[in-house]
A and B are shown apart, each in its own frame.
Chain A
Amino acid sequence: MSIASDVRKMSRGWRWTRRPLPPQSAEPHHSFNEPKEFPTDWARSRPARAAREVLLRGGLNPLVRRETSMRVDGLDIFDDLDGPVILVANHTSHLDTALLLTTLPVQWQRKVTVGAAADYFFDAWWRAIGSALVFATFPIERHGQGLSDTPTKLVEQGWSIVMFPEGTRSPDGWTRRFKPGAAALARTHGIPVVPVAISGSFAAMPRGRNWPKPGRPPIHVRYGRPVRPLEGENTLALNGRVSAAISALIDEADTDWYTAARRAATETTPPSAGPDVAHWRRVWQSSAGPKTGTTRSKAWR
C-alpha cells in the first residue's frame, strides 16, 4: 500500500475535514476532552484585518449586492457612537452575517467581530479558519460548556461584537426567544446595544440553501437607535428592551417609522415571534419576503 493510499485511508477514517466522532458504542467509554477554544487572535491581527477588508469590500459586498436587492436604513445612528457596541440582530439565514458586515460603515467594519457557534463554525479546521478570516468570527459555546472570556477581552480591546441572541437560525423566519448573553455583556461593560432588524433573508436564503434564490430577492437591513443599559437595570430587563427594539424595527420594515413608533408606545407592536398558527403558515408568511413599498417596473408586461 502506497503512502498516498495510507494518507487517504487515514483522512477518511479520522474525518480530517469534519468533526471527529467516536464510534457510537464507544461513547460511554470515551473521555471527551475539555473543549479547547479555537484560537482566533490571528484573525484580528493587522494583516488579517487588511485581508478581510479586501475580501469584504472587493468580494463579498459586490456579491451580496449582485445577488440580492438590498436596502439599508438607520446607519446614521453610528454618527453619534464611538467605542465598542454590541450589535444584536434577528437571525434567519447564513446571509445575515454577510449583510451586517457589508452594510456597516467602513470604520466600524474594521473593528467588529462576530460571535459564531463553536459546534458549527469551529468543528472543522478549514471552516474555522475560513469564517475567522472572512467574518472575523470567534467561537461561542451554545450548549453551556463553560463561559468563554473571549467576548469580555474583545470589548476591553475596543472591538464591537455582532451577536445573534437567538443562538441559531430561525426555522420559520420568525424570531425566537433571545438568550441574555448579549445583554449581560453590554450591562457588564456599560456599552450600548445596537438593535438590527433583518427582513427578507429567510425568504432569500433559508436553512438548507447555500446561495440566495435567483431573482435578486429583496432584503431590508434596519439599524435602530442604541439601547443603553440603565442604572440598576438587570440583564433580563435589558434583554427584553433589546428584543422589543428589534420587534419594533421589524414592524417598521413592514409599515413605516411613525406607525411602528406609535405601536411601540402603546405596546401594540405585533410580536416578532409571529402568529400562533401552524408551522407551514408561519413559513409561508415569512417566505413571502418583506414589503418593499415600491413596485419594480417590469421589462415585460
Chain B
Amino acid sequence: MSRPGFVLTVDERTPPLLMHSGESFKLQDFPLGTRVIYPAESLPGVPDLDEAIETALLHPIDKDPLPTLLHAGMKLTIAFDDLSLPLPQMRKPDVRQRIIEHVLQHAADAGVDDVELIVATALHRRMTADEIKAVVGERVFRSFWPDQLYNFDAEDRENLAHLGKTEKDEDVEISKRAAESDLLVYVNVNLVAMDGGWKSTAIGLASYNSLRHHHNAHTMVNSKSFMDPHKSELHSSAWRMGRVLSEHVNVFQIESTLNNDAFPSQYGFLMKREWEWSLKDQAMFLAMKRGVDLMPAKTRRKTFQKMEAPYAVTGVNAGAVEPVHHKTLEKVHEQQLVEVNGQTDVLVMGLPYLCPYNVNSVMNPILAACLGLGYLFNMYRNKPLVREGGVLILDHPVPWEFSTLHHPSYVDFFDEVLAESTDPKVIGPKFEQQYATDPWYTHLYRTSNAYHGVHPFYMWYWCAHALDHLGQVIWVGGDRRSVARMGMRSASTFADALELARDTVGSSPTITYQHAPPHILSDVR
C-alpha cells in the first residue's frame, strides 16, 4: 500500500533534508516551521502490462476496437513521444515499445503494408538512431528504420499539411503523412498533467507556423498553470487545434501513465523520506555525494545521464483523444496530487540534473531556469504555491555551459538576447522571427541534432508566468555571471538567500520546500 504525499512541518526532530543541486545533491537544514511537501509513494503498476495494452486496444473509449480500424491497403501512421519523456529515461523495455509492438501486431494481422512511424519531436532535436532504437526496441527498429521510422521535420515544407484555422485564427499545420493517413495512432507517455491530450498531435507533429500561436509570452502568462489543462491557455489553444485536426484525421490515442519510481534501487535514498533512512541509506548518500563531487565533470554527467528509472506503468488507456486524456489525468492526479493549505512567502526547490531538453546533454542556464520557473513552479492546481510577489529560491550551479551540438541557438540567445532584455514580452516581438528563420539554425535542426533556432525563446516563455508572478528569484550556489545575465540574484548559501529574500517578504516569511523529484502536483487550497 503506497502512502500518499503530505506536508511536513520542520521541527527539532527533523533531520537535514535532501536537496538536488544539478549533478549533485546536498543535505539542507531548514528553519523550524518550514513546510515540506513530500510526494506520494509509488502506486503499484498494472499486474500484466501486455494484458493492459491489449485490453485498451480492444476496448477503447469512444472508438471502435483497433483491429476493426485496420485493413489491407490503408495508410497507417504511428507517432510517439520523443526522448523528452519520461525523465529520467525509462528502464528497457520502454512502454512505447510495448504499445507499438501490440499495435504493429494488429496491423500485421490485418495485412497493413503502408506503415510509418514518426518521432513527434516538433521543434525538439532529432533523436539519434540509438536513442530511437532504445525507445521502440530492436524489432521495430530493424523493421522500419530509416525510411519508415524517422524524426518529424517541422521545416520540411513539402511534407507539412495546413489543415485550416481555429475559430481564433490559429494555423493548424502538421506532418503531411500524419494528416493524410487513414489512421493516426499516437503513443504517449504521460509523465505529468501537462502532457498528452491534443498536445500530443497538435503540438508534437506541428510546425513553427502552428506552434507560434500558443508558444508565446502572452499565452504562457495566461496559463495558470499549464499543469492544470482546464486553466491553461496553452492547452485551450491545443484543444482548439485538435478539433480542427480531428475533422481531417482519424486519431487513435493511446496514453500511458507511470508511477513515481524515478530512481533505480541503488539510489533508493533519493526516494525515501529522510527520517526513514537506514544506516545503509545514510552511508549510500555519503558515498554517492562524495563520489560524484570528486568525479570529473564528464564522468559525472555520464553517470547521471545513464540512470534509468524503474518506472511501473499504472495505466494504459486508448480511444478518442479527450475521454482518454480525462482518464489519464485521473491516474496522474492519483499519483502526484498533494493537498497543500495556503500559499507561501518563499518557495524553495532543488533542481535536479535533468529536464526534458538536456537528455544526454548539458543543462545550460536557460534550461535550468525553464526547469525551475517553467516546470516546477507550475506544478500546482488552483493557485501557485508561492504568493504573488513572493520569492522563489532555487538551488543549482547554473554553469555557463552550452552544448553546441544540441543547443547552438541557445548560445546566441544567452549572449545577445538576454543581454538586451529578460522580459519575455519584449524579446519575443524583437528577436523571435530572426532566430526562427535563421538558415543556419534551421540547417542544424534538420540535419544535425540541434534544437530549433526558436527553441530558447520557448524555454524563456515557459518562465513567463513565474517571472510575472514572483517578486524575486534567488539562485543558491549558481554561477553569478549566468544568474546576473538572466536578471536574477545569487546567494552563496541558503541562509544568505533567505537574508536576500527579506527585502521582498520581510523578516519572518513562511517557507515551503517542494521535495521533488519525484513529481508532486500541489493542490493549493
Contacts and interface: CB of A to CB of B under 8 A. Distances in A.
B275 A25 contact: no
Contacts of A25: 7-9, 11
A30 B4 CA distance: 11
Contacts, number: 58
B286 interface: yes
Contacts of B286: 3, 6-7, 10
Contacts of A30: 275-276
B275 A26 contact: yes
Interface of A: 1, 3, 6-7, 9-10, 13-14, 20-26, 28-31
B273 A26 contact: yes
Nearest to A6: B286
A26 B27 CA distance: 19
B275 A20 contact: yes
Contacts of A10: 15-16, 27, 282, 285-286
Contacts of A26: 6, 8, 273, 275
Given A3-B286, A25-B9, 12 more contacts: A3-B290, A6-B289, A7-B286, A10-B16, A23-B8, A23-B13, A23-B275, A24-B9, A24-B11, A26-B6, A26-B275, A29-B3
Interface string B272-285: 01111100001001
B14 interface: yes
B11 A23 contact: yes
Nearest to A125: B279
A26 B13 CA distance: 10
A255 to B, nearest CB: 51
Contacts of A24: 9, 11, 13
Q: Which A-B residue pairs are the 6 nearest by beta carbons?
A: A13-B15, A25-B9, A23-B14, A13-B16, A22-B275, A21-B13
Interface of B: 3-4, 6-11, 13-16, 26-27, 38, 273-277, 282, 285-286, 289-290
Contacts of A31: 3, 276
B289 to A, nearest CB: 7
Contacts of B14: 23
Nearest to B7: A25
A7 B282 CA distance: 9
A13 B11 CA distance: 11
A6 to B, nearest CB: 6
14 contacts: A3-B290, A6-B289, A7-B286, A9-B27, A10-B285, A13-B16, A21-B13, A22-B13, A22-B275, A23-B9, A24-B13, A26-B275, A28-B6, A29-B3
A23 B6 CA distance: 13
Q: Residue among B8, B15, B289, B290 with the most chain A CB within 10 A? A: B15
A2 B16 CA distance: 16
B94 to A, nearest CB: 32
Contacts of B282: 10, 14
B281 to A, nearest CB: 9
A26 B273 CA distance: 10
B13 A6 contact: no
A189 B263 CA distance: 53
Contacts of A23: 8-11, 13-14, 275
A30 B277 CA distance: 12
Contact of A29 (B6, B11, B13): B6
Nearest to A7: B286
A3 B289 CA distance: 10
Contacts of A13: 15-16, 27, 274
A30 B27 CA distance: 21
Contacts of B276: 22, 30-31
B428 to A, nearest CB: 42
A281 B276 CA distance: 46
Contacts of A22: 13, 275-276
Nearest to B4: A29
B510 to A, nearest CB: 15
Contacts of B8: 23, 25-26
Nearest to A28: B6
A29 B36 CA distance: 13
Nearest to B290: A3
